[in-house]
Amino acid sequence: MKKVISVVGARPNFMKIAPIHKAFLKYQDTVTHLICHTGQHYDEKMSKVFFEDLELPKPDFYLGIGSGSHAEQTGKIMMEFEKILLEEKPDLVLVVGDVNSTIACTLTASKLHIKTVHVEAGLRSGDRKMPEEVNRLLTDAISDYLFVTEKSGMENLKKEGVSDDKVFFTGNVMIDSLTHYLEKAADSKILNEMDLTAGKYVLVTLHRPSNVDDETQLKRLFKMLAKISEGRKVIFPIHPRTRKNLDNFNITDHLNGQIILTEPIGYIDFLSLTKNAQLILTDSGGIQEESTFLGVQCITLRTSTERPITVELGTNQLLGTDLDKAEEAAMKVLAGEIKSGQVPELWDGKAAERITKILVEELL
**187 burial level (CB within 10 Å; 0-12, 13-18, 19+):** exposed
Which residues, other chains included, contact 350 with Cβ-Cβ below 8 Å and sequence gap of 6+? 171, 176
Q: Judge residue 30's burial from the number of C-beta atoms within 10 Å of its C-beta, 0-12 exposed, 13-18 middle, 19 or more buried.
A: exposed
Residue 113 falls in which region: left (phi positive, over 0), alpha (psi -120 to 50) or beta? left
Q: If binding is defined by CB under 6 A, does position 270 make contact with ligand UD1?
A: no
**Binding residue (CB under 6 A) for ligand UD1 from 3, 34, 46, 144:** 46
Task: Clarify whether 207 is annotated catalytic.
Answer: yes
User: What does the per-residue mask of binding to ligand UD1 show for 321-340, with x meaning CB under 6 A?
Assistant: --------------------
| Dist. CA 344–CA 21, nearest whole Å | 24
- State yes or no: residue 129 binds ligand UD1 (CB under 6 A): no
**x/- contact string, 159-198, with ligand UD1 (CB under 6 A)?**
----------------------------------------
Q: Using the rule CB under 6 A, is 40 a contact of ligand UD1?
A: yes
Q: In the complex with ligand UD1, which residue's Cβ is closer, 105 or 190?
A: 105
Q: Strand 201-205 relative to strand 115-121: parallel, antiparallel, unpaired?
A: unpaired
Q: Minimum CB separation from ligand UD1 for residue 288, in Å? A: 12
| Contact call for residue 10 and ligand UD1 (CB under 6 A) | yes
Contact call for residues 300 and 285 (beta carbons, < 8 A): no
- d(CA 32, CA 155) in angstroms, rounded, equals 33
Q: Which of residues 201-230 bind ligand UD1 (CB under 6 A)?
A: 207
CB-based contacts of 266, cutoff 8 Å, min separation 6: 45, 49, 50, 52, 53
Residue 37 touches ligand UD1, criterion: CB under 6 A: no
Alpha-carbon gap, residue 129 to 135, rounded angstroms: 11
Which residue among 43, 72, 160, 328 contacts ligand UD1 (CB under 6 A)?
Answer: 43
The number of beta carbons lying within 10 Å of the beta carbon of residue 198 is 12
Is 75 near ligand UD1 (CB under 6 A)? no
Select 40 or 356, whichever has its Cβ closest to ligand UD1. Answer: 40
Task: Please identify which of the residues 180, 207, 239, 254 carries the catalytic annotation.
Answer: 207
Q: Which of 131, 144, 304, 364 binds ligand UD1 (CB under 6 A)?
A: 131
Looking at residues 229 to 248 of the shown chain, list those that interact with ligand UD1 (rule: CB under 6 A). 239-241, 244
The residues annotated as belonging to the active site are 207
Instruction: Note the residues at the interface with ligand UD1 (CB under 6 A).
Output: 10-12, 40-43, 46, 67, 98-100, 131-132, 207, 239-241, 244
